Chain A
Amino acid sequence: MKSKTRIVAQRRWFRQLMLFLGMLALLTACGGGTTTPTSGGGLSSGSNGSSSNEIKIGALATLTGPFAALGADGMRGVELAISEFGGQVAGKKITLIKESSDATPAVARDAARKLIEQDNVDLMIGPLSGDEGLAVRDYAKTQPNKVFLNGSSAAQDTTLRNSAPNFYRFSTDGVQWMAGLGTYAYQAQGHRRVVTVAEDYSFPYSQVGGFMTEFCRVGGHVPKKFWVPLGTTDYSSVVSSIPTDIDGIYVALGGSDGVNFLKQYVQFGGKAPIIGGSITVDQTVLSTKGTLYQRVLGTASAGPIADNNPDAAWQQFVSAYKAKFPDGLPSPSLFAHAYYINTKAALLALQQVNGDLSNGEAKLKVTLSNLQFDTPTGPVKLDHNRQAIANIYVTVVDKKSDGTLYNKLVKVIPNVNQTLGVPEDQYLAQGPLSRDNPSCP
């Protein structure tokens, strides 16, 4: 005779199966029945083209985590570019789908996958942060039929090494952003011995590398380099370990990390002047509600924008930004700027091919590779790695009559390329930028 145990087990089995079937039924109800052919390449599903009367654009930025405020401004840049085109391009309506990441590659990749494969966007703009850019670039390689444009991610290797044929970066990278600063710090500000403080990942390597390439070349010295994990809040030990015989600190920390470091440095009575990386005294930092006011005045920095750039195109961009976003920052940050340029490039190219996305977006890709246009910060074009060549600005923090802080333009460096003018094979031979490369103690 069968034991009661066995029968109970079988009944239980049956019920579990019913549950599972129920879930599967739910699944299929949700999913719909479209099957699409796989397009070879990596493990990712092919995706539908959008309907013929709309263009779907996906935008990815860091809306949570340490770079949340920067991500919000990046999105503003996207929206500004789209509104310039009146919300439509080549006779089709633009549908913008936003996704959020938190500066980690894993989340960025998932978000990109959701945009491309679930939301079926025609092209994607983003991400914001350096490591995310590397992850999205690698993902792009598995989706050869879609176009990917950068947001503001600025790790150099995203395009310089192992570039993806369908990833376009119309914004400049972290090394380019430092063009002119090393020389200015040495010659105009008189720095000779500087330590660097930066987060330990790809983008700050580019920034520190870009600064040191010039600074060391003109004779400066960097006796110590501090690398902290991304998201560090307690800099007390870094501050305590800064040597006393230095005359400046190059700080490449971004967003809230930069604010925290400066605050703690001031609290410890630190006196040395700061030299800023491109996102250290950026608008998102200058507008923080805090008391670092006096300390950041006079800080030199460099990057793709200068707040008071008298150029007409820039002034127009700033007014348009302020008009559309009264709750935004007092002046657009480089994130809004980068996202704006990349979005505008996408829209211009779409216009030129008249919205033709057929054949794996072939025409769009060719158009993008050859696209040159005028941005609020001068002309931009792409090199053979689909990396932008554009103007760079050296700035100093100054205050306006109403008391708000801004980055005053002191010098324009035109047409900066990824290798800062060094021949490419020579530059590549130096090896990828890292914790120890370059070095000039």
Chain B
Amino acid sequence: MSTVRIQRIAGLTVLIVLLLAFPLFASQFLVVQIGIQSLFLGIVALGLIFLAGYGGMVSLAQMALYGVSGYTMAIVTVTYGLPWYVGVIAGVIFATLLAAIFALISAHTQGIYFIMITLAEAMLVYFYADQDRVFTNGHTGINGVRPPLIGPIVMSDPTTFYYVTLLIAALVYLGLRYIGRAPFGLALQGIRDNAQRMQSLGFNAYAHRVTTFTLAGFIAGIGGVLGTWYDGAISPGSIDLTRTINILVIAVLGGLSYLEGAFVGAVFFTLVTNFASSFTDRFNTVIGLAFLAVALFFPDGLIGLSKKTLQIATQTVSWRGRNALESSKPVKAPSASKLPTSDTVSEDKKLMIASANPEEEEKQQ
């Protein structure tokens, strides 16, 4: 076995052990406020990163879909008193359905227009939740949503909840990794890079985009169920403009090109918002500065930053191809002999962050 492979397995093992043992050595507050929160926020951000990184669509609608799922579940279980699994299924289905509807409307647009239309859709959901008295109970929201008893699993116990959330997060992450490498994911990336070319090859760009957006909505729905159980309630304040932007902040901070960025960004974000407020009231400025720094100097987010740091630190590693492949020049659309895999997609392509081509985008509209 090569050293790289040994390193990889060792590292992965340590990570898994740490994640599993986390509740044993960290305080309960950390497990709940940082651990669980990072996990379900990370799940929602995963959907965004998949959409943005693989699909080239930056959507601000993720939290709104989270809200749809959470509200549906709350209405079904609290207002109508139906069992928890009905609530969960209804919640996720509704979020997915609404995501599909949004996608059908928005998938024709691209780039900055797409961002704005998803923002409008998100605000639509928010204002509806804030105004409606029949279902969503307006500004007050719906309280009393209890994590259920799933057979022997006591979801209301923080440690149990942590493990269940961890499991779900791992499943979503692995699922997305697989999809990213499967033909669907490859086609999606091709569409991201050059939709016209893919169309001429026979791929339906619009259908791919709609499907991806719906998938991201499904994921947001899962996050919504977990988050609503975590809070024990849902209200318009959970899905307002600030929270909507927060998911984007998390994704960008972590690294919009990397799936893992969702969780790295979420951990960073929850750490700063929880602990910085002990030192300064201006923790929002801190987040804003970090966000600005990432957007200006480190478009690959924290993960990219760590990579660069390690690169500098391990200058002595002699491996011929290193410089060539890890250069930061954007590479044009792939030739047929070297289709991008999910692992290399970010090596080869700095995403639209670095190499947006506005003229081409406009022609495609």
Contact = CB atoms under 8 A, between A and B. Distances in A.
Contacts of A351: none
Contacts of B5: 10
Interface in A1-55: 2, 4-24, 26-28, 30-36, 38, 40-47
Contact of B158 (A30, A38, A200): A38
B233 A135 contact: yes
Interface string A162-192: 1000000000000000000000000000000
B256 to A, nearest CB: 15
A8 B138 contact: no
Nearest to A100: B281
B196 interface: no
Contacts of A130: 140
Category for how many chain B residues contact A = 35 or more
B193 interface: no
A23 B268 contact: yes
B32 A44 contact: yes
Nearest to A139: B232
Contact of A201 (B8, B29, B140, B233): B140
Given A8-B326, A24-B22, A45-B28, A434 B133 contact: yes
Nearest to A11: B4
A118 interface: yes
Nearest to A22: B306
Contact of A43 (B7, B32, B237): B32
Given A4-B321, A23-B268, A200-B138, A104 B28 contact: no
B111 interface: no
Contacts of A134: 140, 143
A45 B260 CA distance: 27
B30 interface: yes
A106 interface: yes
B310 A15 contact: yes
A56 to B, nearest CB: 14
Nearest to B275: A30
B258 interface: yes
A138 B74 CA distance: 14
A20 B15 contact: yes
Interface in B212-248: 229-233, 235-238, 240
B289 interface: no
Contact of A21 (B18, B31, B159, B321): B18
Contacts of A114: 33, 274
B56 interface: no
A371 interface: no
Contacts of A6: 343
Given A5-B343, A18-B11, A31-B30, A201 B156 contact: no
B32 A21 contact: no
A247 interface: no
B144 A135 contact: no
Nearest to A133: B140
B4 A14 contact: yes
A158 to B, nearest CB: 11
A4 B157 CA distance: 46
A20 B32 contact: no
Contact of B28 (A14, A38, A229): A38
Given A14-B4, A44-B158, A131-B139, A142 B232 contact: yes
Given A17-B11, A28-B26, A23 B264 contact: yes
Given A14-B7, A106-B238, A19 B264 contact: yes
Interface in B275-333: 275, 302-303, 306-307, 310, 319, 321, 325-326
B310 A131 contact: no
Interface string B323-348: 00110000000000010010110010
Contact of A106 (B15, B18, B26, B231): B231
B146 interface: yes
A273 interface: no
The interface centre, meaning the residue of A10, A43, A434 with most chain B CB atoms within 10 A of its CB, is: A43
B161 interface: yes
Contacts of B229: 43
Interface of A: 2, 4-24, 26-28, 30-36, 38, 40-47, 104-107, 109, 113-114, 117-118, 130-131, 134-135, 138-139, 142, 162, 200-202, 229-230, 434-435
7 A-B pairs closest in CB distance: A45-B28, A104-B237, A9-B343, A106-B237, A17-B11, A19-B306, A31-B30
13 contacts: A4-B325, A8-B347, A11-B4, A16-B260, A23-B268, A35-B24, A43-B230, A104-B240, A117-B28, A131-B141, A201-B138, A229-B131, A434-B133
